Amino acid sequence: MPRQDQFVLTLSCRDTKGIVHAVSGLLYQAGCNIIDSQQFGDLAGEDATGLFFMRVHFEAPPHLADVATLDRLLQYVRGQFQMDARLHALGQRSRVLLMVSKQGHCLNDLMFRWKSGQLDVDITAIVSNHPDFAELAASYGVPFHHLPLPPGSDAAAKRAQEQQIEALIDKERVDLVVLARYMQILSPEFCGVLAGRAINIHHSFLPSFKGAKPYFQAHARGVKLIGATAHYVTADLDEGPIIEQDVERVDHSLSAEDLTAVGRDVECVVLARAVRWHIEHRVMPNGHKTVVFR
């Protein structure tokens, strides 16, 4: 089935009757073929938002197979239910920028998955505040941009470096920024630029073990579970809406170095899942949470 004829519609609105019927009926009347459809109403519990979410993967006939035409087709239903409705062409690959500091396990994992066809994206560039992974980038044929931040750099210097990254994002028409262990705190201004299109990964010890060598801190406390969290970047450090998490059981027989190795493996897997689900348009914001259609 040609991907240039395939689209994903994601929508959210206040939960009410008739939404699924209206959307599926409209697509049927237009001659589209629904391949997969998922929906969720956030109605249970004190923190429920009352919103309805839907993801529809469908094939469009040739005369409708572009986003602008399909968007016009959706105008009435969008207005009827006051939807935030977005169309995504699966034939158009997401353009991704990777950012890294001195720990390269997540970077290397994403690059391998991309090169081996497991991640259907275009990696446009790698940005780092250190030169360490220039050779790795070159081995994959990806441009590497070393934008240093010397120790003790003030807020003005950090913001100037971020603006260089913003210019690169605009130049390369980047859809998604992935912080693959980029160990710098981003300014609120930069977080605003990246809102909804930047994913970060960190170990799941926060807030228990902050700072340097968290796995060594965990080992000293006899931790029995270690894990990782992938989330969207916000101005609230490491507190953005969570996309994916996973854990691994560990025990007393493992050294601090062993824990670190296990933790890095979990980080790689969790980040890769989050990136894949984002580029497949399976993640939808729901206040401080996300809805993830797998």
- Catalytic residue list contains 246: no
Structure tokens given for 64 = 């409708």
What is the Cα–Cα distance from 79 to 286, expressed in whole angstroms?
20
> Exposed, middle or buried: residue 108 (CB in 10 Å: 0-12, 13-18, 19+)?
middle
Structure tokens given for 88 = 């995504």
- Of 238, 246, 258, 265, the active-site residue reads 238
What is the Cα–Cα distance from 36 to 52, expressed in whole angstroms?
17
Helix axes 105-115, 256-279, angle to 10 degrees: 40
- φ/ψ region of 40 (left if φ > 0, alpha if ψ in -120 to 50, else beta) reads beta
DSSP 186: P
Pure H helices in 150-235: 155-171, 188-193, 214-220
Name the residues annotated as catalytic.
238
